[in-house]
Amino acid sequence: MTHAYLDNAATTPVAPEVVQAMMEVYQTVHGNPSSTHGPGRKAKALVETSRRSIAKLLGCPPRTICFTSGGTEADNHAIQAAVNSLGVRRIVTSEAEHSAVVKATNAAGEGQGVEVVHVKHHEDGSVDLADLERILSGSNVPTLVSLMHANNEVGVVVDLKRLSDVCRTHGAWIHSDTVQTMGHYPMNLGELDVDFLTCSAHKFHGPKGAGFLYVNPTLRVGGMIVGGGQERTLRGGTENVAGIVGLAKAFDLAFEHMTEHEAHIRAMKERMVAGLRRAVPGVVFNGESDRADRLYTVLNAKFPPHPNGGMAVFLLDLEGIACSGGSACSSGATLGSHVLRALGFHDPDKASVRFSFSRYTTEADIDCALEAVAKVFAAVEEAV
Ligand code: PLP
């Protein structure tokens, strides 16, 4: 009975063109890409064509793309590769990273004695690059900087070119979790000097369980999952052929129509911002997520104190609105958001709700959500 799906930062609906491309694979290609016979070669060709098409759109050599099961695996792989293959002994990161990075860096700290340092954020939630520079200039320990391109909860964006300049000046390796921006922002890896980037197909209308890790071609790193030597030994395991084809198709569609999709999504977000301001006086936006220079798919609203505040996401769900109170990656558990806490936006008296949009979001979706928000956050005299 969902009337409006506004949780696209958690995952997006699969594009019909992607479903069709994947169905064709499931129905016509059954070979194992590692088999040398005809059906195997056919599957292998699909994997390699997909790799080439993604690499072309990113301006990088195809061998730099290692297919994975998605963003979490790619983030883990980048961090483990930096420690195990590059000899990194210090990781500079942020407490507002996705749990995949927070937990992988903590594991490197606890299990392998790597020093983990957290960079400061400005009051508006953005990363304090001057603090990063201070940290990097203070030590010559081999260092990986792991900072996400755009935050999945509040939408603050790091300028990757500036990040790269700061890190390279101080000889640090760079990993950026680009899970929320791949397929939504142009990226030219012929010009951008970074070591590891990560991608997840289901954030731009591709299938769940497919993604990739980009590894700078100058690096020699080992695999995280060992096995049959697939992905040039970077990732053992029979390839998810249909998933990879779906990922490449979704990537293709995202890049081909990026400008028009962005314009549409921005218009939806602006309608939501204006409507929320009208419906709930006193609403504010965590991370200044209403700003044009924030991730354009995400809006994080903080509502004034209200008896329904603690149940806001639940009550909106009852009204048929799918949105979220934080990252969706903890099996729907409402533990509160580590990101809002880390950035100083958490307020126990005020509900924060993330609305996130896609190219399929309509004006009717926004209006329906605004009606539901007005109902949930109705004037207190009516609510009690
Ligand atoms: N990184 C960020 C910023 C994300 O938003 C997500 C998904 O929510 C992930 C990593 C994990 O990606 P996946 O769901 O493909 O494992």
Q: Whole-angstrom Cα distance, residue 102 to residue 99? A: 5
**Which protein residue has the closest C-alpha to ligand 1 atom 12?**
71
pLDDT at 326: 60
Q: Whole-angstrom Cα distance, residue 350 to residue 309? A: 6
Q: Is 326 in the pocket of ligand 1 (CB under 6 A)?
A: no
Q: How remote is the CA of residue 179 from the centroid of ligand 1, in Å? A: 6
Q: Is 98 in the pocket of ligand 1 (CB under 6 A)?
A: yes
pLDDT at 336: 81
pLDDT at 381: 58
Count of CB atoms within 10 A of residue 321's CB? 25
Query: Which candidate in 60, 167, 329, 368 is catalytic?
Result: 329
Indicate if 167 belongs to the active site: no
Longest CA pairwise span in the chain (Å): 73
pLDDT at 331: 42
**Which protein residue has the closest C-alpha to ligand 1 atom 7?**
10
Hey, what long-range contacts does 104-110 have (CB within 8 A, 24 or more apart)? 104/75, 104/76, 104/79, 104/80, 105/79, 105/146, 108/79, 108/80, 108/83
Q: How remote is the CA of residue 231 from the centroid of ligand 1, in Å? A: 21
Q: Is 100 in the pocket of ligand 1 (CB under 6 A)?
A: yes
Q: Whole-angstrom Cα distance, residue 82 to residue 221? A: 8
Atom from ligand 1 closest to the CA of residue 328: 8
**Which protein residue has the closest C-alpha to ligand 1 atom 14?**
71
Amino acid at 286: N
Q: How far is CA 339 from CA 77, 78, 109, 321, in A?
A: 22, 21, 20, 23
Q: Is 200 in the pocket of ligand 1 (CB under 6 A)?
A: yes
Q: Is 152 in the pocket of ligand 1 (CB under 6 A)?
A: yes
Instruction: Give the pTM.
Output: 0.96
Q: How remote is the CA of residue 349 from the centroid of ligand 1, in Å? A: 28
DSSP state string for 185-238: B---TTT---SEEEEEGGGTTS-TT-EEEEE-TT-----SB-SS-TGGGTB-S-
Q: How far is CA 372 from CA 35, 306, 322, in A?
A: 54, 15, 11
* Tens digits of pLDDT across the chain (384 residues): 679 999 999 999 999 999 999 999 999 999 999 999 999 999 999 999 999 999 999 999 999 999 999 999 999 999 999 999 999 999 999 999 999 999 999 999 999 999 999 999 999 999 999 999 999 998 999 999 999 999 999 999 999 999 999 999 999 999 999 999 999 999 999 999 999 999 999 999 999 999 999 999 999 999 999 999 999 999 999 999 999 999 999 999 999 999 999 999 999 999 999 999 999 999 999 999 999 999 999 999 999 999 999 999 999 999 999 999 865 544 444 558 999 999 999 999 999 999 999 999 999 999 999 999 999 999 765 444
Q: Is 329 in the pocket of ligand 1 (CB under 6 A)?
A: yes
Atom from ligand 1 closest to the CA of residue 151: 3
